[in-house]
Chain A
Amino acid sequence: EAQVTQNPRYLITVTGKKLTVTCSQNMNHEYMSWYRQDPGLGLRQIYYSMNVEVTDKGDVPEGYKVSRKEKRNFPLILESPSPNQTSLYFCASKRPGLALNEQFFGPGTRLTVL
């Protein structure tokens, strides 16, 4: 089954404790992206990657890091999480090229930073 998986689905942590949210897709998509979703703000793009070793900042990259060492994986790293990073996070992938290509989203990771 074609899918995007994220782990963990739920995470409660404390300020300053480094964490990684993993994302993996089995559709051989070059393009992958991370979003955060907050009430009243919709989804905002954090980082995206056009291919292995190619990453770019989205709209709200501050406080986040990403890496793309393999085509299928695109982990999101919070080096020193803060309470304002409490949010619902989504990973997505799509075929490269045109913006009109469908993005496939993972099930989401709900992060709470105390």
Chain B
Amino acid sequence: TQLLEQSPQFLSIQEGENLTVYCNSSSVFSSLQWYRQEPGEGPVLLVTVVTGGEVKKLKRLTFQFGDARKDSSLHITAAQPGDTGLYLCAGGTGNQFYFGTGTSLTVIP
């Protein structure tokens, strides 16, 4: 089983603060995705990274794929209450997908 570990598991911060979430694995993935999930809903894709060292920005969110394609990070600048949710990384190999353990983020107004 390929395991993706995320840290921290829980994060509670004040509005306006910056934060970074990490996703680490002992396995190499052909692509890595970040999803955000809100209570009572299914995950929704934020970004896909495919190239080692790749950096993608989505407004205040910055995603990075490690050079060895085993790890990734998500950095949020000036967090807002609307960023509250569960953040999941997912690695794809062929037709199977492996999800991380999730980071539950709460942004306090």
Contacts and interface: CB of A to CB of B under 8 A. Distances in A.
A43 B96 contact: no
A98 B1 CA distance: 20
Contacts of B45: 102-103
Interface of B: 1, 4, 6, 9, 29-31, 33, 40-45, 48, 50, 88, 90, 92-102
A51 to B, nearest CB: 11
Interface SS of chain B: strand
Interface of A: 4, 31, 33, 35, 40-45, 48, 50, 56, 58-59, 90, 92, 98-100, 102-103, 105-108
A108 B42 contact: yes
Given A107-B40, A107-B41, A108-B41, A102 B96 contact: no
B88 A42 contact: yes
Given A4-B42, A100-B92, A107-B40, A40 B101 contact: yes
12 contacts: A40-B101, A42-B4, A43-B88, A48-B96, A56-B95, A92-B42, A99-B92, A100-B50, A100-B92, A103-B43, A105-B42, A107-B40
